[in-house]
Amino acid sequence: MLIFARFFSLQVIGGGGLRYRALDQWTREVPVVAARGKIADRNGTVLADNRTAYSVFVRPNAVKDARRTAAVLSAVLGQDEAELYERIASARVSEITAARHADASVADELEKHDLPGVYYAQDDVRVYPYGEMLSRVIGFTSTDNAGLTGLEKYYDKYLSGIDGEIAYFADLVGAEVGGGASYLPATDGLELKLTVDHGIQAVAEAAMLSVCEQYSPVTAQCIVLDPKNFDILAMAEAPSYDLNDVPRDDREQLNALSRNNLVSDIYEPGSTFKIVTAAANIEEYHKGNANAFSPQHVFGSGRTRTVDGTTVRCWSDHKNGKHANQTLAEALNNSCNPCFTDIALALGTQTFYSYLQKFGFGKVTGVDFAGEAQGMLLAESAVRQCDLARIGFGQTVAVTAIQLACAAASAVNGGYYYRPRLALSLSSADGKVEETFSPVLVGRTVSEKTSRLLAQLLEGVVSEGSGSRAFIEGYKVAGKTGTAQKFENGSIAQGKYVSSFVGFFPSDDPQYLALIIVDEPVGAYYGSVVAAPAAREIFEGIIRIRAIEPYE
């Protein structure tokens, strides 16, 4: 009975595994590498592709003439002959890799020499036709074609595919013994189509390079969104690097250049945050909240407000009638801090925080990109009045660029907050769509009525106020400037600023929204001077690309 039990265990229960192990001993495999899926923009322009290359393997036990083999490989591969001979003749492993990512001509040449024990297999190389374009977003792969950063990593399981193999029957020392070969085909990776528009991306990157040339900042960054569904049309950052020449030997430089700061870094937004404060006030006014200010309310003209013993100041000196008798529209035009302090304090912590949560602050947006930061928002229970006052105009709160862009888009698109996305679909090489990523509505922030009024007020900021350098004749451009001091080690870093502008057009039906962030510009530092012109350059580029006619 024991013998029969053991027999049953080997033949039936463990038979499959033993047959597989036996087959593995009887055969030698040549890998068939799956082609990595391409990455393309929304219009089909290929941003990440493959170049056919080959890996060359040597099985020392199957080599008939080590010296001839070394000589031929040396001539074909351009390697040292003596070193190749040493590796082949003294190898204690069943297989050595003679070359990786060799050109197709290498395989053609080896085919002519018929070298026993030498094999080659296709091993594609990842190439990026546009070099630096979207480098911090697309990311790059390892030498084994596995995604390491960016979208290459985030969607790696779809892009990588499944390798196959060709199995040859071999003897004890690895020499082929005939009997044919079995072929397991590779399953190529899926192709990823992005929401990004190649043309708009090119315009955005050119604008950021221009900012860098003019103001020599640490970085110049830009996001362009479709406010109707939060499709990311462009993500640009300078300085950048060439994806075809990744600085792999300098880890510190590589980490800095490959980091997508628009998603992973946080900063104090400054006056661009006033869009959210204004939206909350207008919505509460429309709801009948007696603490909210009407659009016609005239704010006090004082330059300062004192809260909990701390003083809030306006950037302007308020002399000679500056910032006197301002309505909400004028407070936005002039970017007057005390007015937004008044709004935040009047709404109160509970009400104001309910809007901050609706607008997605203090949590990730859910964008399909690894390493997203959630920003920094004081716990509601810990907020003092002086904190609330400063949050009202964009201090004592830290956000990511993607958070702020989404919040602004929601404030002016009718109050709809979507999950931002970079991917549209995944398709097989023959064009069959395997998966589609549809827009996801997360929630509502404000009403259509509030959104329309706010957009009108922000159009005034560009046509009459601090955002005038973003004005384009014949087009309804709206937006808000921002200039924030930087903090280092818990205190203000003297002379260091973050200049920004968030704008959109047309104001009565937003189709495009751009957020520009310039970190530590040299010389001029106001967002109205540094960032607003870059937004105008991007919008003018979009107008050319899409052939958008001016308003009559």
Q: What is the dihedral of CA 279, 283, 286, 290, to 10 degrees?
A: -100
Non-local (6+) Cβ contacts of 81 within 8 A are 70, 71, 74
C-alpha 263/C-alpha 100 separation (Å) is 35
**Tokens describing residue 445:** 């922030």
Closest CA to 56 of 143, 120, 101: 120
Contact 276, 356 (CB under 8 A): yes
Rounded alpha-carbon distances, angstroms, from residue 374 to 1, 41, 237, 483: 65, 27, 20, 22
Strand residue runs (E) in 413-477:
416-418, 423-427, 433-436, 441-444
Give alpha helix (H) positions in 45-123: 66-77, 81-89, 104-113
DSSP 8-class letter at 382: G
CA-derived radius of gyration, the chain? 31
Catalytic residue among 240, 271, 410, 500: 271
Between CA 337 and CA 503 the distance in angstroms is 20
Residues 6+ apart with CB under 8 A from 33: 121, 122, 123, 124, 145, 163, 186
**What's the CA gap between 50 and 122, in Å, rounded?**
11
- Based on the residue annotation, tell me whether 90 is a catalytic residue of this protein: no
Complete DSSP assignment for 4-21: HHHHHIIIIISHHHHHHH
Give me the residue label for tokens 């997605």: 360
* Close Cβ partners of 272 (under 8 Å, ≥ 6 residues apart): 394, 404, 408, 480, 481, 482, 500, 501, 502, 515, 527
DSSP label at 376? B
Residue 366: count of CB within 10 angstroms of its CB: 16
167's tokens: 């199995």
Catalytic residues: 271
